[in-house]
Amino acid sequence: MERTAVRRRLTWQAGTVTEIREETATARTIVLDLPDWPGHLAGQHLDVRLTAPDGYRASRSYSIASAWTGSTIELTVEQVPDGEVSPYLVDVLKVGDPLEVRGPVGGWFVWRPDSAGPIQLIGGGSGVVPLMAMLREHAHASSTAPARLLYSVRRPTSVIYAADLKKLAMSDDVDLTFVYTREAPPGEPRVGRVDAELLAAKAFAPTDDLTTYVCGPTPFVEAVADLLVAAGHDPARVRTERFGPTGGPR
Partner 1 sequence: MTADVPTYLDGNAAAGALSEVFAVDLTAAIGRCAGCGHTGVFAEVRLYTAAPGLVARCPGCDDVLLRVVTTPSETYLDLRGLTYLRVSNS
Interface pick for partner 1 out of 37, 161, 180, 243 (rule CB under 8 A): 243
Distance CA 113, CA 60 (A): 28
Angle at 161 between CA 167 and CA 228, to 5 degrees: 90
Name the strands in the sheet holding 45-51, side by side, starting at the edge strand that comes first in the sequence. Answer: 57-63, 45-51, 98-105, 13-22, 27-33, 73-78
For residues 2-41, which are near partner 1 according to CB under 8 A?
A: 2-3, 7, 9-11
Residue 131 three-state SS: helix
Binding partner 1 (rule: CB under 8 A), the pick from 33, 47, 175, 234 is 47
Query: Which alpha helices (DSSP H) does the chain contain, by range?
Result: 86-87, 128-140, 162-168, 196-202, 218-230
CB of 10 to partner 1, least distance (A): 4
Q: Which residues between 108 and 127 bind partner 1 (CB under 8 A)?
A: 108-109
Minimum distance, C-beta of residue 218 to partner 1, in the bound complex (Å): 4
By the rule CB under 8 A, 100 interacts with partner 1: no
Q: Across-strand partners of 62?
A: 46
Q: Other CB atoms closer than 10 Å to residue 220's CB: what's the count? A: 24
In angstroms, what is the minimal distance from the CB of 22 to partner 1?
26
Residue 229, CA distances (Å) to 118, 151, 203, 223 in order: 17, 19, 13, 10
29-37, 163-171, 200-208, 218-226 -> range binding partner 1 (CB under 8 A): 218-226
Which C-beta is closer to partner 1: that of 82 or that of 172? 82
Which region among 100-108, 121-129, 135-143, 192-200 touches partner 1 (by CB under 8 A)?
100-108
Q: Under the rule (CB under 8 A), what is the footprint of partner 1? A: 1-3, 7, 9-11, 45-47, 59, 61, 102-103, 105-109, 218-219, 222, 239-245, 250
